[in-house]
Amino acid sequence: MNNQPGSNQIQLITYIDRLSGGDISELHQLLQQELSGLFDGVHLLPFYTPIDGEDAGFDPTDHTAVDSRLGNWQDIASLASDYPVMADMIVNHVSAQSAQFQDVLAKGEASPYWPLFLTRDKVFGQAPEPAELAAIYRPRPTSCFTELTLADGRSLPFWTTFTANQIDIDVQSEPGQAYLDAILQRFTENGVKLIRLDAAGYAIKKAGTSCFMLPETFEFIAGLSSKAKALGMQCLVEIHGYHQTQIDIAKRCDWVYDFALPPLVLHTLFSRDAKALKHWLDIAPRNCITVLDTHDGIGIVDAADHQGQPGLLTDPELDALVEQIHHNSGGSSKLATGNAANNVDLYQVNCSFYDALAQHDEHYLLARAIQLFCPGISQIYYGGLLAAENDVELLKRTQVGRDINRPYYTAEKVRQALQKPVVKALCALIKLRRSLQAFDGDFSQQLSDGQYQLNWQHQGHSASLRIRLADLSAELVWQHSGEVQQQCPLSSLLAD
């Protein structure tokens, strides 16, 4: 199985201010100094105006403007000259506080932006069938429509897939296409090389369907990816859903997330059974970005069954997985998940990955080693890099479940975290992965007699991760072409 060219890379995914404690230039400095030698690129989570909206930047009032508290587009371009930058393109919605939507509220159909936004009536007509509304796939338990009052006193049901402050746009309308084109243009003018298409699976709405990942959605993603490619950019499609959907999407775009990996790695470590993980890596797309944690929660739906089709894990296995996470975190993840938190997601558990593994350094390092040995580009979340614990105090202040895994660091706190043995070991592991040419080649895996092995080979270079499942001990074995084979227990990195 050939890995994608150039995929022997490690990317950082981070909020600018929550890692640097400051602005874009301070993050740039951090990457060049304390984090030097670790990353080939950086995914900057939303840096648009404002970064502190209802959904941590995913509800921009102006998607083409950098929040002035972080800097400006010149700062982005400067960072992009040293590190390939990925930026979020929020294709499904815009803030209710945006100038465009405020104009709609003031002028109704007379606003030039009226066609930009979706109301329920635009899709279903004046008298929608209850069965059609019930068929809509919902990522959250609340209604996907919000009644909002116009200046003339009329109340209309606007489409709000995520929150009442995130108004869905009509991406098929002329203003919708112009809106997205303006974002693409701003990106390409400032050196952005990769685009993450946020919430793209919900972008197309059609009566009589689930309004999620329709054939028309695939066409929309392909069309947007083509526009980006023509401007010198590639697209990563962000979709949480059934694993076969990811496989299908991967055939039509540059990159997809491997969101099934986090629950499968946890299941492997909890159950000491790698069969489900091995099966997934046998069939998983190779043009993927691998993650264990992100700014969102640990995905569950990505490993679950769907409409009678078997998932990567069974329902009892997923139930046991979720309960083990809650147990390992001392119950703190339960405070941030499901009905206990605002903006709840039906398909995620909100918890830092370090806490999901009970802050067990060896198990955490093994989980990262598995990720780094999987095919694709490895993306390390800033909280994961620093082995962040659940930020219960931040959760209490904001009452936003996902904030439990979105901590704020000052520069001094970053320096302190980098001294933790598990963080030092992870940094050493990242540097080793980046140094090995074997990862430019072919991937294989074996599972037998209680040992699970992940292997890479390329022109005489080799690298293997050998895991003994009974006690979760592991060793790294590698060889540069023409040189003597080297090996070390994974745990020895913690002692260095």
Please count the residues of the chain: 496
Report how far residue 372's alpha carbon sits from residue 379's, in angstroms, rounded to the nearest whole number.
9
Report how far residue 223's alpha carbon sits from residue 249's, in angstroms, rounded to the nearest whole number.
13
| Amino acid residing at 433 | R
Report how far residue 123's alpha carbon sits from residue 201's, in angstroms, rounded to the nearest whole number.
17
Side-chain half-sphere of 183: how many Cα atoms within 13 Å? 24
Please identify every residue annotated as catalytic: 198, 238
Determine the 3-state secondary structure of 371 from DSSP. Answer: helix
Report how far residue 293's alpha carbon sits from residue 288's, in angstroms, rounded to the nearest whole number.
15
Alpha-carbon separation of residue 314 from 141, 235, 244, 270, 462 (angstroms):
23, 32, 15, 15, 35
| Amino acid residing at 207 | A
- Structure token digits, residue 124: 């279903």
Q: What are phi and psi of 204, to 5 degrees?
A: -105, 125
Report how far residue 264's alpha carbon sits from residue 298's, in angstroms, rounded to the nearest whole number.
11
| Amino acid residing at 66 | V
Dihedral sign for Cα atoms in the order 44, 48, 52, 57: negative
DSSP string, 143-157: -SEEEEE-TTS-EEE
| Amino acid residing at 156 | L
Q: What are phi and psi of 222, to 5 degrees?
A: -65, -40
